[in-house]
Structure 1
Amino acid sequence: MAKLKTSRSLQLCFLLLWASYTAWAVDPSRYISQYAHSSWTIQDGSFSGIPHAITQTTDGYLWIGTEAGLVRFDGVRFVPWVEPEGEHLPQAAIYSLLGPADGGLWIGTGVGLAHWKDGDLINYSSVVGRVNSIQEDEQGTVWMVRSRIGLGQSGPLCGITGKDIHCYGAADGLKCALGSSEVAIDRQANVWVGSSDALCRWRPGSSSIYLQQELKETEGLVGVSALSIGDDGAIWAGIARAGKKFGLRRLMNGVWKSYTVPGMDGARLAVNTLLLDRSNALWVGTVSQGIYRVYKGKADHFSSSDGLSSDAVQRFFQDKEGDIWVVTSKGIDCFRDLRVTTFSLREGLTADSAGSVLAAEDGALWIGNQGGLDILRQGALVRMKTHDGLPGQDITSLLEDHAGRMWIGVDRDLAVYDHKRFRLIKRADGSGVGVVVAMTEDTEHNIWASVVGNDAGLYRIRDFNVIEIPTPPHTSARALAPDFRSGILMGLRGGGLARYDDGRFESFSFNQGAAQDPVSNLLVDHDGTIWAATDHGLLRWKEGNVDTLNSRNGLPCDPIYALVRDNLGSLWLSTRCGFVAISDSELGRWQKQPDSAVKVKTYDALDGAQPGHASFQPGVSKSADGRLWFANDIFVQMIDPGHLEVNALAPPVHIEKIVADRRNYSPEDKLRLPALTRDLEIDYTALSFVVPQQVRFRYKLEGRDSDWQDPMTRRQAFYNDLRPGNYQFRVIACNNDGVWNEEGATLSFSIAPAWYQTTWFRVFFFAAILAMAWILYRVRVHQVAKAISARFDDRLSERTRMARELHDTFLQTIQGSKFVVDDGLEDPLDAVKMHRALGQVSAWLEQAIEEGRAALNSLRSSTILRNDLGPALKRAAESGVVPDGMTISVSVIGDARELHPIVRDELYRIGHEAIQNAKAHSHGSSLEIDLAYDHDLVLHIRDNGVGIDPGYAMNGREGHFGLRGMRERAARIGARLTILSSAESGTDILVVVAGNVSFTHPETGIFSRLRNLYRRAARHRDPL
């Protein structure tokens, strides 16, 4: 069983509150039918199994013992009790219960006794038999009686003090039979035991026996089935199978008497259970006749025909708030007081058609009904009909004049009741006045009547003479009231207000949205303020100014049926939503600020209010004792503003369970929920049984909610966004009168983190983020440094390239020009030689200009056009000075493909340098240049000259950059450069550039490679 640990101080406070309010009770002056009645039955599915017992524990819960087990009830929900794991009751069938002062629960079953407290269940194996009744005395000793004990067992009465239990029988002076069904304890600590053969009074050392002879005289199996002890010492005993004399008996001053009162023949009742409530009213539960309640010598009856769940009554119980609980063979019933009392046909009215109500000065209440006139005097209803002299059947409007005479609209006539005689009021022609809907008396004691139907109009009666008053069109009055100056005021059916005084009509329209609404009721204050009830709110008229009070100003709804002031000056409204009270101070504040809201107190259906329109006037009346009476065309309702008892007991609050991701958890403090909990539901309750539907809640989850949540009457809290961590849930509640239990209930719980939600993971993740940021920072720094270095390298490479360009082209041309000039200067007088030298110099200088321009252009664009490497190499070979006798051949193998610009330029420069070296230094007779577009790009240049000095083959000559430049260019594009040279075979230079570096769209297919091989073989005439 889920439980919460409650502090001992809170339990003690609750017990003190309980004890201080034990005087509460249902009002015994009312009929049972005037209480609020609720019923829960087996057929409804509220619980399974026939109920036998009911009690209330100190935590506020109600417990119901049934044939199928134990059920807990909070006023809204029935929850089956679950036995603690590994422990069991002696039997599922429960016949008696007791909620003792220690906060536990005593459970009497068909075969033994158990005690449950703080989650622990104790079975008393020494107690065998059916436990029928359990009581606790003022010293805390628990007494129980049992039956079906069996041979060899001790007596039927057992006393339990602490953990000690002792059973008493004949050997201890207890003379009752072993089969005992009831136990009770009086103020002198005597224990009374009702058995199958007698009523016994016992205490250690003293014993008496009663009713033994009487029980022997009855027929069949009988016994004392019910006991109750009054504060005056009277003993009430009920016999289950009654004869003609023995049903309900009372022992007073040593004398037993049968108890019979008007409405109940106690001698003939088969009594099953008894209860003396806190008002000293006796409740009698019978075997088959329902409930009787006896108070001040009068009995009231309530049975299944009135709504009781069954006529077989088994137990009574009165809870701490004064409600009466009844256990029957088919369910449980609850009776509680209502703020509004109803008088209907069930309470003795002629019919459920009460159309008017009037409180007379002598304290009697007159009720206009169909079929007769009902008069309520000193709690007794008297019906007055035609055989009592009433000159008709259907009563319409009522009025008491200044002389105490009663004016009564009856059928189509008007009658006066004076000195217990009726007198009809006729018009001058002897006809009746008509159907009177409203009457009033002015300051001059004229009687005014508003009539509808064929004789519709306004009539004045003076000295019993009827005078018809001519009225303007559309001035039919639904309500009449005296004007304290003179004349009368009329609430019109067509809407608005009219005044008639000394032959003059004056009308006033309400122009604030209610002009077309009939005025159903009028109230005139002594300062001349007129209040009018309409379907659009309450209208206030004074000196031509109109204000409207409706739902925009705080009323629960707009339609208003009637209004009246109580003895304290508060204004009471009969509205569609219930009876509404507005204090005089609130009205005064609103009159100064008509747009402001007013504070109201509403009594709705849960308080018994059932307002409605009354067809005739008055529809509301105030009696001399301050009670307010309202008619609604069905019955009459009364509310007593001076005796509206407040439920001052704050309800105990409990947290019942937690549902996390559809799994139930007991609400134990410091509960730890699993990781990744998403959907969380917390069920709570507050134990007030007066009007459980009006119990309101507030809750706050500390660690998540910044303020109190207001779920109104909902008894669950829902969360679906909780993160791992510690939380504290607090819930408080108020009862039907707004009394809050501010301490409420508290539950601490936590949600475990997933592995990636733990602190160490967060630290690790944060450290990893920092490390990653540091790594990225270092990478970025490295990239920036590399970019700067690359820029430096590019600049150095460009300078180196320019040096190569100048060396390989421009400087060589200049140097050649110098050689020509030097040669010409050796013989300055030889004009032909000088002319030839100058011509050569001029041509070379022109070439130097072109080479310089080409070097400058190479800084901005590629040296050669796209896919023009082969022709460019051929032009380089054939341009300039070609040694005499040297043949040059250039071949391109494979389809020319698009090259990367840098590869194209660098390979051209390498080829150009090799060609120029061959032409200038090889002294060979042939120069072959092959460019192959294959899987890789291959440039092959070979001559048959004298070769290269081995000392210069690797690094070139000092101060020259030809060979060194070729190697640098090859390395720049990742090419493989091979230079083979000998004096016999000449120089062979091979440059291979990978295809994925050379070509922008590499071809790697096998067919492309075969095609290139075929073309190469064909070109060299080599067989495949």
Structure 2
Amino acid sequence: MPSLLLIRIAQKLAMLALLCACVPSSAQPASTPPAPFDDIYHNSWTVREGVPPVLWQAKQTPDGFLWLAAETGLYRFDGIAFTKYVPTNGQKLLKDGPITGLTATADGGLWIAYRFGGVSFLHAGTVTNYPATPAFSETIFVLTQDSDGVIWGASAIGLFRFDGKQWSRVDESWGQTISRVAHLKLTPSGDLWVDDSKTYYVLPKGSRHFQPTGLPNGKLDLTGPDTGWLSQDKVGLFPVTRRPDDSWTLGKQLLKENISSITHTPDGALWFGAHDGIWRIRDIDSYRNSPLPPGALQSMQKTDGLTADFVYALTVDREGSIWALTPNGLDQFRKTALTTVALPPDLQHSFLVDEGTSVLTGAGFSSLTPLARTTSRGTELIPAPLLTAGIHQIYRDPSGTVWINTGGKLARLNGTTLTPVEGPRTCPRAT
């Protein structure tokens, strides 16, 4: 039995190989820094919270549990605690680890693949094991189930399928000899995409004949039946489009980044992980033929709270949340009703005034930018040379006029025009 030291060395070497596969590059020119996530709630878990070391994949089953494939076995996360899965009634999984691939089935089951061959199927508490055989002894690193219930597995020596009885290797009778699989992707329409490290082939739903697509290898995410995005390693992100003859074409490069994982969420945003954090582009398909404007590319790095800068796997759960795997743990990103709005950094001790479709912010202390207005389009600074003493009080009357007390002096704001107001020299005595 291997010693604990050898196991730890193997884990470190596996992670080092994964890290080296991602070569640094810049996702956006330095003159246009990425924006932070402004409508996302972020949560994270590390070893301190029970995350098992060296995660490889995460998949959610229909009951809501998140299952984790790890070097040390299979784990289940209920949103609070991480629990190593141990079958009941004397059953055993084929191996205790390492687990390299997972896929959830529509009926609530979970397929589990192991390093050096063999798979298990977990359903309703019952475990069915399929040990490695001479014809099925390779590591399966991606599993997926098509609409006919067939399970497909990607390995370094080819494509495998399970027809409900046994596993077999896909051979030339399927129209293409696929000697190895770099990426495996099932579309919502039921088409199976396979990347053999050179080009992509597609198996249309119901067909037994793989067809060439004309697309190069890379990480693929299809956002529609005729559109998608392809990340070529060490090159960048490109739009892809289906032609009338069912072949596909690569469009103009949108950005430069060595992407390690890519997916999209139901709201139309494209997410990708890289060596330098996790990134998002909202409404991605609106940029198929146009460059990214400033602020369109959002990101989070370790300095912002990410468990690590290298994000090597992403999965989307049934609520549209993103789960990101890093060398240090697990991160979750989910939409929130609240949106973060960046204000000028010297707007301290701010006053806020609701203007209906905008918010007026004022600095309580002397500031270079004492007054600003924020709308859905951004923040606009309002020239305010009269407010050198800062704002002591601010009020918006029913007509929409804003009144400001600055150091005992009165000013009136209409739109973006600030004018002084002469107050009474003496206050009348109350009666």
Q: 1:89 aligns with which of 76, 88, 94?
A: 94
Work out the CA distance in 2 between the residues paired with 1:195 and 1:227: 13
CA contact (8 A) 1:285 1:315 kept: yes
Work out the CA distance in 2 between the residues paired with 1:211 and 1:442: 61
What is the 5 A alignment of 1:992-1007? none
What is the 5 A alignment of 1:313-324? 313-324=311-322
TM-superposed deviation, 1:352: 6.5
TM-superposed deviation, 1:248: 2.1
Q: Aligned AA for 1:257?
A: G
CA contact (8 A) 1:34 1:343 kept: no
SS at match of 2:53: coil
CA contact (8 A) 1:355 1:368 kept: yes
Q: Unpaired segments of 5 or more residues in structure 1?
A: 1-29, 150-155, 213-222, 393-408, 414-434, 472-502, 507-1024
Q: 2:209 aligns with which of 205, 224, 228?
A: 205
Q: Aligned AA for 2:231?
A: G
TM-superposed deviation, 1:391: 4.4
- The verdict on how the C-alpha distance between 1:293 and 1:505 changes in structure 2, with shifts beyond 3 A counting, is farther
Partner of 2:21: none
CA contact (8 A) 1:199 1:211 kept: yes
- The verdict on how the C-alpha distance between 1:33 and 1:195 changes in structure 2, with shifts beyond 3 A counting, is farther
User: TM-score normalised to the size of structure 2?
Assistant: 0.74
TM-superposed deviation, 1:73: 0.8
Partner of 2:306: 308
What percent of counterpart residues are identical? Answer: 22
- The verdict on how the C-alpha distance between 1:40 and 1:468 changes in structure 2, with shifts beyond 3 A counting, is same
Partner of 1:131: 140
CA contact (8 A) 1:33 1:302 kept: no
- The verdict on how the C-alpha distance between 1:41 and 1:161 changes in structure 2, with shifts beyond 3 A counting, is same
Partner of 2:351: 356
Partner of 1:67: 71
Work out the CA distance in 2 between the residues paired with 1:257 and 1:449: 54
Work out the CA distance in 1 between the residues paired with 2:419 and 2:41: 48
Greater RCO (CA < 8 Å, at least 6 residues apart): 2
Q: Aligned AA for 1:169?
A: D
Q: Aligned AA for 1:437?
A: Q
Higher share in helix: 1
Q: 1:141 aligns with which of 150, 155, 176?
A: 150
CA contact (8 A) 1:237 1:249 kept: yes
Q: What RMSD over aligned residues (CA atoms) do the two structures have, in Å?
A: 3.2
Q: Aligned AA for 2:144?
A: Q
Work out the CA distance in 2 between the residues paired with 1:351 and 1:108: 54
Q: Aligned AA for 1:200?
A: Y
Work out the CA distance in 2 between the residues paired with 1:36 and 1:327: 17
What is the 5 A alignment of 1:523-922? none
Residues 1:467 and 2:427 are matched in the alignment: no
Q: 1:116 aligns with which of 106, 114, 122?
A: 122
Work out the CA distance in 2 between the residues paired with 1:176 and 1:186: 19
Q: 1:341 aligns with which of 334, 339, 349?
A: 339
- The verdict on how the C-alpha distance between 1:354 and 1:375 changes in structure 2, with shifts beyond 3 A counting, is farther
Work out the CA distance in 1 between the residues paired with 2:237 and 2:349: 38
Residues 1:105 and 2:110 are matched in the alignment: yes
Partner of 2:223: 230
TM-superposed deviation, 1:343: 2.0
Partner of 1:791: none
CA contact (8 A) 2:277 2:306 kept: yes
- The verdict on how the C-alpha distance between 1:301 and 1:168 changes in structure 2, with shifts beyond 3 A counting, is same
Q: 1:291 aligns with which of 256, 263, 278?
A: 278
Partner of 1:80: 84
Work out the CA distance in 2 between the residues paired with 1:91 and 1:197: 34
- The verdict on how the C-alpha distance between 1:197 and 1:505 changes in structure 2, with shifts beyond 3 A counting, is farther
Residues 1:56 and 2:60 are matched in the alignment: yes
SS at match of 2:303: helix
Q: How big is each residue's C-alpha offset from its partner over 1:387-417, in whole Å with a ceiling of 9 and x where there is no partner?
A: xxx345xxxxxxxxxxxxxxxx62227xxxx
Partner of 1:172: 174
TM-superposed deviation, 1:101: 1.0
TM-superposed deviation, 1:172: 2.5
User: TM-score normalised to the size of structure 1?
Assistant: 0.33
- The verdict on how the C-alpha distance between 1:278 and 1:358 changes in structure 2, with shifts beyond 3 A counting, is same
Partner of 1:804: none
- The verdict on how the C-alpha distance between 1:354 and 1:460 changes in structure 2, with shifts beyond 3 A counting, is closer
Partner of 1:939: none
TM-superposed deviation, 1:464: 5.1
Q: Aligned AA for 1:133?
A: V
Work out the CA distance in 2 between the residues paired with 1:91 and 1:146: 20
Partner of 2:388: 411
CA contact (8 A) 1:185 1:229 kept: no
Work out the CA distance in 2 between the residues paired with 1:181 and 1:91: 26
Work out the CA distance in 2 between the residues paired with 1:367 and 1:446: 15
Q: Aligned AA for 2:116?
A: V
Work out the CA distance in 1 between the residues paired with 2:129 and 2:398: 79
Work out the CA distance in 1 between the residues paired with 2:302 and 2:194: 31
SS at match of 1:196: coil
Work out the CA distance in 2 between the residues paired with 1:159 and 1:352: 61
TM-superposed deviation, 1:334: 0.7
- The verdict on how the C-alpha distance between 1:442 and 1:63 changes in structure 2, with shifts beyond 3 A counting, is closer
TM-superposed deviation, 1:40: 0.6
CA contact (8 A) 1:106 1:116 kept: yes
CA contact (8 A) 2:347 2:362 kept: no
TM-superposed deviation, 1:48: 2.6
TM-superposed deviation, 1:206: 3.9
CA contact (8 A) 1:460 1:466 kept: no
Work out the CA distance in 1 between the residues paired with 2:62 and 2:398: 61
SS at match of 1:342: coil
Q: How big is each residue's C-alpha offset from its partner over 1:964-1023, in whole Å with a ceiling of 9 and x where there is no partner?
A: xxxxxxxxxxxxxxxxxxxxxxxxxxxxxxxxxxxxxxxxxxxxxxxxxxxxxxxxxxxx
SS at match of 1:131: coil
- The verdict on how the C-alpha distance between 1:411 and 1:86 changes in structure 2, with shifts beyond 3 A counting, is same
CA contact (8 A) 1:109 1:130 kept: yes
Aligned length: 365
TM-superposed deviation, 1:71: 1.1
Work out the CA distance in 1 between the residues paired with 2:402 and 2:173: 84
Q: How big is each residue's C-alpha offset from its partner over 1:159-216, in whole Å with a ceiling of 9 and x where there is no partner?
A: 33433433313452234441x232112355321012322222234124215345xxxx
